[in-house]
Amino acid sequence: MSLADKPKLYYEMYKFIKYLYTLIHNFPKEYKYSLGEEVIGSAWQCLDNIVFANKLPNSRKSQYILKASADFERVVLRLRMANELKLFNDKKMAYIITCEVAIEKMLSGWYKWAKAKIS
């Protein structure tokens, strides 16, 4: 089974992380190993929580979906800071925002579904 055959959220987050590696590769050294590593680490933590939540029984999914959502918000905040520091251009930020909206929508929808399964 290829990654494209996994749930759409897995695939979108994976593609986003892959994009982040290419983005951060071009950060100046002073930011690459601080801000850049935080972005990548939080992004992987988000994907790990998505994978973990998917393996749990429905009654336990929501807490890990919330963790994934919080990790993703950390990624986005750090990317906004990087953009304000002019570490990448506004065109790249526009792409990041497009990904952000899509991923947040999927996480939010999944969380609502999981909460409904508990009730």
Q: CATH number of the domain that 49 lies in?
A: 1.20.1440.60
Predicted local distance difference test score (pLDDT) of residue 91 = 98
What is the per-residue pLDDT for 117? 85
Instruction: Give 16-60 pLDDT, tens digit per residue.
Output: 999 999 999 999 999 999 999 999 999 999 999 999 999 999 989
User: What is the domain count for the chain?
Assistant: 1
Is there a domain that residue 29 lies in? yes
Full-model pTM: 0.91
Does 2 reside within a domain?
Answer: no
Question: What is the extent of the structural domain holding 88?
Answer: 7-118
CA distance 20 to 82: 12
| Model confidence band, residue 1 (pLDDT cutoffs 50, 70, 90) | low
Residue 1 is assigned to a structural domain of this protein: no
Q: Give me the pLDDT at residue 7, please.
A: 79
Note whether residue 12 is domain-resident.
yes
